[in-house]
């Protein structure tokens, strides 16, 4: 048999309809109380909403004030930035630092040997080469101020040049440096004097760290010994504004940095070629040897210059002179303490005063 559906639930019983006036009045009182409760709830909600609205208005005003303050600060910052850019655009400069005491940065003879005229020619050539280097980097390269600082110990440099026969005295080198300074007002040659070793390099290094913080500096060209500019120092500086002038080969630790490198071949003396061993002839043309020996007569010290002979020469001498003369087969030239010169060929000795 099919299941019979469950009977539907009976509808709720309706409240009895009031019949008397009192019952109807009581019912109206209940409805009035419900209406008053609803009004209270609405008033409470309205008060809370009004309080939130007032707080929101305060927050909005505060944010408006902050925004206005920030806008004012932004405008002032832009004005200061524009003013700074204008100031920088007025006198941007390029600085060239040269340690003339460093190896590879001695100026060419065609400048140094001409005294004041050579200094003036060097200043003109240096200015031309710097402009040429800057033009590919900056559109306003020709308008940039060029400042050059050359540091050197003039007395020590003069002594070196006098020994090499390029100058006669310190005054000629001073005339050269004076001509360099007087040619262009922003070019200076600074004499660091005779001090502890590396004083010129120290001044270059201090100038490097000082000027790279200057907002007017557009670029800096650096010519000094690699020992005075360690990579640890360069890595702390704005490398995009620095160019290293190369004379001697730079170490790999420095070339690995993102720094520009250039050469001024028309200014500095080319470094000497590496020394190669002295060639020896087929028969072994010997080298002179310097030694000391005691004079048997007076016990004084003698300087002896003795040529070295090859094995083939030694064998020939032994064959011609015999075994007894092997030890005296070399030629000796001795200079005594009293300026006497003795030439000893092994079998005969001659003394000249």
Instruction: Render each residue's pLDDT in the chain as its tens digit; 353 residues.
Output: 556 666 667 666 666 666 788 888 888 888 888 888 888 888 889 989 988 998 998 889 888 888 889 988 899 888 888 777 777 667 889 999 999 988 888 899 899 999 999 999 999 999 999 999 999 999 988 989 999 999 999 988 899 899 988 888 888 999 999 999 999 999 999 998 876 555 888 889 899 989 988 888 999 999 988 888 888 888 888 888 999 999 888 888 888 889 899 999 889 887 666 555 554 444 444 444 444 444 444 444 444 444 444 444 444 434 344 444 444 445 556 555 555 556 665 444 444 55
pLDDT (0 to 100) of residue 132: 94
Same domain, 70 and 214: no
Same domain, 325 and 308: yes
pLDDT (0 to 100) of residue 134: 93
Non-local CB neighbours of 199 within 8 Å, separated by 6+ positions:
153, 192, 193
Looking at the domain assignment, is residue 5 inside a domain?
no
pLDDT (0 to 100) of residue 292: 46
Contact indicator for 191, 153 with CB cutoff of 8 Å: yes
pLDDT (0 to 100) of residue 219: 93
- C-alpha to C-alpha distance for 237 and 71, rounded to whole angstroms: 34
Give 79-87's long-range contacts (Cβ < 8 A, gap of 24+): 84/215, 87/216
300: left (phi over 0), alpha (psi -120 to 50) or beta: beta
Looking at the domain assignment, is residue 11 inside a domain?
no
Same domain, 127 and 241: yes
pLDDT (0 to 100) of residue 215: 84
CA distances from 117 to 110, 129, 185, 219 (A): 10, 18, 16, 29
The CATH number covering residue 188 comes to: 3.40.50
- First CA to last CA distance, the chain: 160
Cβ neighbour number for residue 70 with a 10 Å cutoff: 10
Structure token pair of residue 23: 């019952």
Same domain, 118 and 179: yes
Same domain, 70 and 113: no
Total domains in the fold of the chain: 3
Give the CA dihedral 86, 89, 90, 96, nearest 10 degrees: 150
Domain, as residue range, for 40: 31-88
Looking at the domain assignment, is residue 16 inside a domain?
no
Give the CA dihedral 202, 205, 210, 215, nearest 10 degrees: 150
Looking at the domain assignment, is residue 144 inside a domain?
yes
């Amino acid at each position: 048999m099919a299941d019979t559906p469950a009977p539907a639930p009976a509808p709720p019983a309706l409240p009895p309809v009031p019949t008397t006036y009192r019952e109807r009045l009581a019912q109206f009182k209940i409805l009035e109380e419900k209406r008053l409760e609803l009004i209270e709830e609405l008033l409470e909600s309205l008060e809370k909403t009004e309080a939130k609205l007032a707080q929101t208005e305060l927050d909005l005003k505060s944010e408006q004030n902050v925004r206005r303050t920030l806008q004012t600060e932004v405008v002032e910052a832009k004005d200061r930035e524009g003013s700074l850019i204008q100031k920088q655009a007025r006198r941007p400069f390029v600085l060239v630092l040269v340690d003339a005491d460093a190896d590879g940065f001695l100026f060419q003879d065609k400048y140094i040997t001409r005294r004041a005229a050579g200094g003036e020619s060097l200043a003109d050539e240096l200015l031309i080469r710097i402009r040429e280097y800057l033009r590919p980097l900056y559109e306003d390269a020709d308008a940039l101020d060029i400042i050059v600082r050359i540091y050197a110990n003039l007395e020590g440099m003069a002594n070196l040049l006098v020994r090499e026969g390029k100058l006669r005295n310190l005054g000629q080198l001073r005339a050269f440096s004076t001509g360099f300074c007087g040619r262009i007002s922003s070019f200076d040659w600074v004499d660091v004097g005779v001090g502890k070793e590396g004083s010129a390099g120290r001044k270059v290094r201090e100038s490097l760290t000082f000027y790279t913080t200057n907002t007017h500096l557009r670029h800096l060209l650096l010519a000094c010994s690699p020992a005075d500019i360690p990579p640890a120092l360069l890595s702390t500086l704005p490398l995009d504004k620095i160019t290293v002038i190369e004379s001697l080969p730079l170490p790999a630790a420095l070339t690995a940095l993102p720094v520009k490198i250039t050469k001024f071949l028309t200014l500095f003396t080319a470094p000497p070629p590496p020394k190669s061993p002295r060639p020896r002839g087929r028969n072994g043309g010997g080298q002179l040897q310097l030694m000391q020996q005691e004079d048997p007569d007076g016990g004084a010290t003698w300087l002896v210059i003795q040529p070295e002979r090859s094995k083939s020469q030694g064998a020939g001498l032994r064959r011609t002179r015999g075994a007894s003369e092997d030890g005296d087969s070399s030629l000796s030239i001795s200079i005594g303490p009293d300026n006497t010169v003795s030439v000893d060929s092994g079998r005969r000795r001659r003394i000249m005063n």
